[in-house]
Amino acid sequence: MRVIGIETSCDETGVAVFDDQQGLLADLLFSQIELHSEYGGVVPELASRDHIRKTLPMIMDCLEKSGSTPDDIDGIAYTAGPGLVGALMVGASIAKAIAYAWDKPAIGVHHMEGHLLAPMMTDDKPEYPFVALLVSGGHTLLLDCQAFGDYRMLGESVDDAAGEAFDKVAKMLGLGYPGGPAVAALATKGIVGTYRFPRPMTDRPGFNFSFSGLKTFTMNTLADIQEPTHQDKANIAAAFQEAVIDTVRIKCKRALEHTRSPALVVAGGVSANTALRERLDKLGSQLKCRVHYPELKYCTDNGAMIAYAGLERLKAGHQETHAIEVRPRWPLSELSHPQEI
């Protein structure tokens, strides 16, 4: 089975072709970073307009690069949510139009299921059951994953997502957008231990997260320094990053012990963070549990993960009508279980 995947939920246009026998055949990504950087964040209307310009030519290009004709394609997967409604509508409309024209099934994919399954595109695939930590710009989720499509929510962020907190702290420190990689780079120059930031919600039971207080703590720490030097900012970046990582580590440990899962899967944009990977690898060896990540380029948004998730859904018999529907808000727990299809 060969599926084309289309990702347009936010500020990246991603298109890829995945074949269940041959793996990833082609993968194109266009980032809108330059378009949004002067505004310090994503401008939804500009994002939609750019997806309109890029998506169709990228599909045609990707088809050619994968050595496929429309006849070779068995399905068209697109991100149906969650995300920016206009941006989602572009991908959904194009996917449905192509599906109609080529007489192939279209399949709406949950963006976070795409992230969750991205580590499956490696040779060393995680096996169910496992605990998943999904850390992106829009979500922070801890899931107990029993089987494909059977994801039980253990906890989530009650306010900002981990990536969102990185982006906001980057803005405070005068770094560019997107902020995660910039804060991570600055943190490497910082002296850990100069400041002690809180580990929110770790002193109470449960698996939820809260990152908005950390953001305020960062702002206040910065405001207390009269003319912060580059070193001061690096020390703050290091303390903030350390606090996020340590909080996440504590909750992952708790979830792994609670579920007795033999593996941890970490995915989403923040899973590209080297310090986070080091810390969770350490936790894995401590608990004798495998830790899986996507390849670095499949941590952040991409079309490959959507093609892969769509292929799995189609193989499980998932079907939909020609109606164009997206779900800007869509809890992962509401995904249909493949056995229910």
Q: Which does 167 bind (CB under 5 to 8 A by kind): ligand KG4, Zn ion, none?
A: ligand KG4
Positions in the binding site for ligand KG4 (CB under 6 A): 10, 115, 136-138, 163-164, 166-167, 178-181, 184, 268-270, 272-273, 300-301
- Exactly one of 48, 136, 140, 247 binds Zn ion (CB under 5 A); that residue is 136
From the list Zn ion, ligand KG4, none, which binds 272 (C-beta under 5 to 8 Å, kind-based)? ligand KG4
- CA distances in angstroms from 279 to 32, 35, 109, 284, 337, listed in the order given: 31, 34, 31, 9, 33
Nearer to ligand KG4, 10 or 73 (CB): 10
Residue 128 structure tokens:
């169910």
273 touches which of Zn ion, ligand KG4, none (CB within 5 to 8 A by kind)? Answer: ligand KG4
- CB closer to Zn ion, 87 vs 255: 87
CB of 293 to ligand KG4, least distance (A): 12
Nearest to 105 by CA among 133, 63, 74, 136: 74
Is 113 an interacting residue with respect to Zn ion (CB under 5 A)? no
Six-digit token pair at 166?
Answer: 């990185």
Phi/psi for 14 (5° steps) reads: -125, 135
Smallest gap from Cβ 178 to ligand KG4, in A, equals: 4
Asked if 177 and 185 touch (Cβ cutoff 8 Å), the reply is: no
Residues 313, 77: Cα–Cα separation, whole Å: 9
Nearer to Zn ion, 112 or 236 (CB): 112
CA atoms of 17 and 286, how far apart (whole Å): 38
| Strand 140-147 with 150-156, pairing | antiparallel
Q: Does 140 bind Zn ion (CB under 5 A)?
A: no
Contact call for residue 301 and Zn ion (CB under 5 A) = yes
- Of 80-88, 150-158, 190-198, 299-307, the segment contacting Zn ion by CB under 5 A is 299-307
Q: Is the Cβ–Cβ distance between 245 and 261 less than 8 Å? A: no
Residues forming the site for Zn ion (CB under 5 A): 136, 301
